[in-house]
């Protein structure tokens, strides 16, 4: 009887040890990740958004570690779509953007987090008269110093990206005034030239008349 009880006790002890042991999984460890989203999930908004388009069928969303905190970043290739000269009243605008900004969006079209966009890349494309493209990026604001858990949740829930503020800066009033004055100056010069030609013709006609009379 004692042997039976001892045997049962040993089995119970082994089961307890086996049940309490846990095997660590790699998924539990913080790690950088990347995923691709379809072009249809990228939304470009703004008065002059048609100047740009996504080059390719996809773009990347990345979960990365920066120093002691985590960020969600996007990386994409943008291209010229509509030439600057074809924008309505393009002469009234600078080849500069007001300030593009982005946000990560979930499946319910709710903003998860805002993005710090690299504005200079978009403005570089504005300087091109021919078709061109370049790679640009955006990132969650570093000052928030998000934990892995927070950034991971945002990364997992991101299904779309919206970039707004794609609007050209109005031409400065001084520049418009200068261009207008220049136009007037050219017109004045043309008027003087026309007047001189008319006076010359009158003198020739007068000379011919005097020659005929005398």
Length of the chain: 214
Looking at the whole model, is its pTM more than 0.85?
A: no
CB within 8 Å of 22: residues ≥ 6 apart: none
Band of pLDDT at residue 108, cut at 50, 70 and 90: very high
Phi, psi of 62 (to 5 degrees): -125, 145
Q: What is the pLDDT of residue 20?
A: 43
Span 20-28, average pLDDT:
47
* Rounded Cα–Cα distance for residues 62 and 84 (Å): 32
Q: Which residue has the tokens 């990026």?
A: 137
List, for residues 116-141, the tens digit of each pLDDT value. 998 889 989 999 888 899 999 999 99
* Rounded Cα–Cα distance for residues 147 and 108 (Å): 24
Which DSSP string do the residues of 150-178 spell out, in sequence order? HHHHHHHH--EEEEE---EEEPPHHHHHH
* Rounded Cα–Cα distance for residues 86 and 93 (Å): 12
Q: What is the pLDDT of residue 133?
A: 95
Q: What is the pLDDT of residue 197?
A: 73
* Rounded Cα–Cα distance for residues 34 and 86 (Å): 37
List, for residues 45-66, the tens digit of each pLDDT value. 999 999 999 999 999 999 999 9
List, for residues 147-194, the tens digit of each pLDDT value. 999 999 999 999 999 999 999 999 987 654 455 555 555 666 677 677
Q: Are 161 and 74 in contact (CB under 8 A)?
A: yes
38/26: higher pLDDT: 38
């Amino acid at each position: 009887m004692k042997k039976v009880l001892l045997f049962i006790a040993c089995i119970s002890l082994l089961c307890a040890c086996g049940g309490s042991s846990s095997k660590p999984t790699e998924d539990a460890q913080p790690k950088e990740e990347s995923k691709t989203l379809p072009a249809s999930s990228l939304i470009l908004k703004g008065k002059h958004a048609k100047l740009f388009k996504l080059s390719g069928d996809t773009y990347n969303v990345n979960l990365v570690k920066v120093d002691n905190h985590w960020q969600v970043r996007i990386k994409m290739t943008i291209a010229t779509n509509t030439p600057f000269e074809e924008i309505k009243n393009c002469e009234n605008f600078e080849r500069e953007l007001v300030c593009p900004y982005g946000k990560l969006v979930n499946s319910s079209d709710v903003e998860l987090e805002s993005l710090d966009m690299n504005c200079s890349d978009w403005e570089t494309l504005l300087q091109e008269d021919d078709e061109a493209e370049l790679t640009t990026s955006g990132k969650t604001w570093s000052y928030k110093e998000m934990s892995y858990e927070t950034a991971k949740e945002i990364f997992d829930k991101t299904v779309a990206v919206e970039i707004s503020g794609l609007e050209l800066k109005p031409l400065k009033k001084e520049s418009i005034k200068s261009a207008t004055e220049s136009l007037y100056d050219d017109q004045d010069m043309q008027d003087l030239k026309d007047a001189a030609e008319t006076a010359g013709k009158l003198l020739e006609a007068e000379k011919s008349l005097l020659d005929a009379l005398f």
